[in-house]
Chain A
Amino acid sequence: MPSLTVKKRLRLFEILAAAVLLTAVFAASLAPFDPSVQNLQQALQGPSLQHLLGTDNYGRDLLSRVILGARTSVLATLGLVGLISLTGTCVGACCGYVGGKLDASLMRVSDVFLAFPGLVFAIAVAGVWGGGVLNAVLALAAISWPKYARLVRGQVLVQKEQEYVQAAKLDGAGWLRILTLFILPNVVNTVLITAILDFGTMLMEIAGLSFLGLGAQPPTPEWGSMMSGGRSLIQTSPWTILAPGGAIFLTVGIFNLLGDTLRDYLDPQQKSKEE
């Protein structure tokens, strides 16, 4: 029985993370103004009752843009994390279970990718392919999957020597059945925690590419590109950069704490300590 406090923390961060995800999904309905409509007479207004987070240099409501930005930033991150965790898990599971030449060749490929500095590689790829959220996601996916492949391969190597796997083999189960029904359920927790902890990093990397002009293109609101747009206004109209920056800060914080708490919750050693 896990500690009630850990459970409460988990619940709290689950609720907060769900709130972020729901905001992203229902962004269009939640935004008080059309985020792409310009009103130059209202440019660079500070936070007020009408515009809670102020307006940008085009007179667009920043709260609406931050909310719509959640759709781009959070959903793109979700897609990216899903893509790399799935790809990495499949590759790692096959390599770990099958071994031999397949394992050796795929692991050397992953070594090559791991050797590159992640964001630099993504900048190069996004630079060649051109701007856009999809390209930014694919560029980051290309460099980020090996981490999961390594993780899952290690876990599978341990699990496949376990007695329950030997028993399944004796029972005549095929490799696919053993992997999917017996081994992967024992690996999935680690992948899940890593994926949630990665969410913040990936969100910042997508925002970073957009900040550099390689991610979301105007007028799509995205937190990184919004920060880039407000950069030259930081001394005169700081709300233009604080609003998207705060959104990134909160989202990354929530998902990091959620991953941390989930690890505490699922970690048997942590459980026994708390008991």
Chain B
Amino acid sequence: MLKKFTSRSRIVLAALLTLLAIVCLTGCGGTKPAPQEGAAQGKEKVFVYGTTAYGPEMSDAGLNPHDSYSGWSAVRYGVGETLFKFNDAMEPVPWLATKFERLDDYTLKIYLRDNVTFTSGRKLDGAAVKECLDDLLAKHDRAPKDLQIKEIKAEGQTVTITSKAKVPALLNYLSDPYGAIIDMKAGVSKDKNVAGTGPFVAQKVGDKEITLVKNKNYWGGTVKMDKVIVRTITDGDTLTMALQSGEIDATQGLPYASLALFQDKVKYNISSVDTSRSFFAALNFSTPALQDIRVRKAIAMGIDKDGFTKVLLKGNGTPAVGAFPASFAFGDKAVKAPGYDPEGAKKLLAEAGWKDTNGDGFVDKYGQNLTIRWLTYPGRKELPLLAESVQATLKSIGIDVKVNSTANHRDFLKRGEWDIYASALVTAPTGDPAYFFTATTLASSVNNRGKYHSDNLEALAQQMAAAFDPAQRAQLAVQMQQQILDDAAFIFASHLKMSFVMKKNVTGFVAHPSDYYEITADLDKV
């Protein structure tokens, strides 16, 4: 019987090992390698790009710039172009435009390139731009409020925009991907395809994949790649293995832990850049405990931003002070916020009357523990890491953090079932500071979910709305950030460093601080 037992164990062990081997081999194989047609054979050059950033979950499915964030996809994947684009310093410079003229505080005249045609074959002129901007204002959710356009006049290769109010950042807003110019006569197809002016034409548009072919008549020069396939791969580990196995040529959105696997410079290239995408927490002023500024400050002092950025993000970011990275004139170097100071945080809590009277490790007041419902979502992989890190560091100062990381976070926001909401936002998508404040911190802001209000901030925002001088706008942005930091209304944890990882033979694929321009005419495989 002992013999039988032993042999049975061996059979079980052998079966398990076989199964393990099959699973491992299945995981390693079975993927279709990226098409290898390259310059060497003189055949079609195909570039397969795997990304986590495209699809309905990101609100950017399709290529219609007048729909939610789909303009990002149009500009990112080389289909659409805006009148102005951002340079590396995030300043707007002409793109489809050649120059502009400010006729007065309310009127801007834009001169257009004369050599641009849409992929539909129509020539780009003032009338085409007016049609496109009129449709944008009629259909888009954010653009009308940003642009404040009263009237657009088209004449030959010029358009003249008259604003309802002073819009000092109008050029910046026109550089937002929603401002991508498309041929409205060609319209928007059922599959959300459009005729733009970019180096690529979309052949097939789906929620998970876009197939692009080169625009042979591109105004900006010869397009080097014949075909581009943009493929959504939301799982970071699948993305990692897809690049390792050669199924894709390049990727964006790899888990930080995976970047170490692509350090071999003989096989891969990495292009990294600091962006204004910030991970930050908004505090809910409806929560009684958070109405006490000492508690809010204690929470801010109880978050280890350095540890989060250096260890959990593996250095792929910078610890944040305010809303903008240090590369901006109004960035982190210009503002101050309390650093990680658990002892100081404990003192503040004690001053506010929160003490651990029952020895359960959490501070309490009137018999109630200080419990914080930390709401976040897993769509940005950094956010659950931040939540778990905060949970541990705040526990050390006596705050009980209940993490709710759910894709359903918007419902919880609507129902008010949260105390702190951590999210990711590109705080300066137009290179100008106004967007962050108007979208997030003012009484009228759509995303001011915690109902924060500061009279001083509102007054500064009004001044910014009328200030055209960039230096003055920067100064105001510093004061406004300092106000929200002094009020501990928002806590900024980290600014993201974005990395593109690609095979060694890929060239012309460079990460840009704006996070907009990915597939360009320069993209090539050598």
Chain A residues proximal to chain B, CB less than 8 Å: 3-6, 9, 36-38, 40, 43, 57-59, 130-131, 213, 217-219, 231-237, 274
Contacts and interface: CB of A to CB of B under 8 A. Distances in A.
Given A5-B5, A9-B5, A57-B311, A232 B391 contact: no
A36 B257 contact: no
Centre residue among A5, A6, A213, A232 by max chain B CB count within 10 A: A232
A273 to B, nearest CB: 11
Given A40-B304, A235-B240, 4 more contacts: A57-B257, A58-B392, A236-B257, A236-B260
Contact of A218 (B2, B391, B396): B391
A37 B312 contact: no
A58 B1 contact: no
B261 interface: yes
Contacts of A232: 236-237, 240, 255, 257-258
Nearest to B388: A218
Q: Which 5 A-B pairs have the closest CB atoms?
A: A5-B1, A232-B255, A40-B307, A38-B392, A40-B311
B403 interface: yes
Interface in B387-420: 387-389, 391-393, 395-396, 403-406
A148 to B, nearest CB: 26
22 contacts: A4-B1, A5-B1, A5-B2, A38-B393, A43-B312, A57-B311, A58-B312, A58-B388, A58-B389, A59-B311, A130-B406, A218-B387, A218-B391, A218-B403, A218-B405, A219-B388, A219-B392, A232-B236, A232-B237, A232-B258, A235-B258, A235-B261
A36 B387 CA distance: 13
B406 A131 contact: yes
A219 B260 CA distance: 26
Interface residues of B, number: 32
A9 B375 CA distance: 50
Majority-rule SS of B interface residues: helix
Contact of A213 (B237, B307, B395, B405): B405
A33 to B, nearest CB: 13
Contacts of B338: none
Interface in B1-30: 1-2, 4-5
B378 interface: yes
A3 B405 CA distance: 54
Which of B255, B257, B396, B404 is most buried by chain A, counting CB atoms within 10 A of its CB?
B257
Given A3-B1, A38-B393, A131-B406, A236 B307 contact: no
Contacts of A40: 304, 307, 310-312
A134 B293 CA distance: 36
Identify which of A57, A59, A274 gathers the most chain B CB atoms within 10 Å of its CB: A57
Contacts of A219: 388, 391-392, 403
Interface in B224-275: 236-237, 240, 255, 257-258, 260-261
A5 B1 CA distance: 6
Contact of A231 (B1, B237, B260, B310): B237
A270 to B, nearest CB: 11
A3 B451 CA distance: 74
A257 to B, nearest CB: 8
Given A5-B2, A130-B406, A233-B257, A57 B312 contact: yes
A230 to B, nearest CB: 9
A232 B258 CA distance: 7
A213 B258 contact: no
B279 to A, nearest CB: 17
A213 B408 CA distance: 13
A42 B405 CA distance: 25
Contacts of B255: 232
Of A6, A43, A58, the most chain B CB neighbours within 10 A belong to: A58
B104 to A, nearest CB: 55
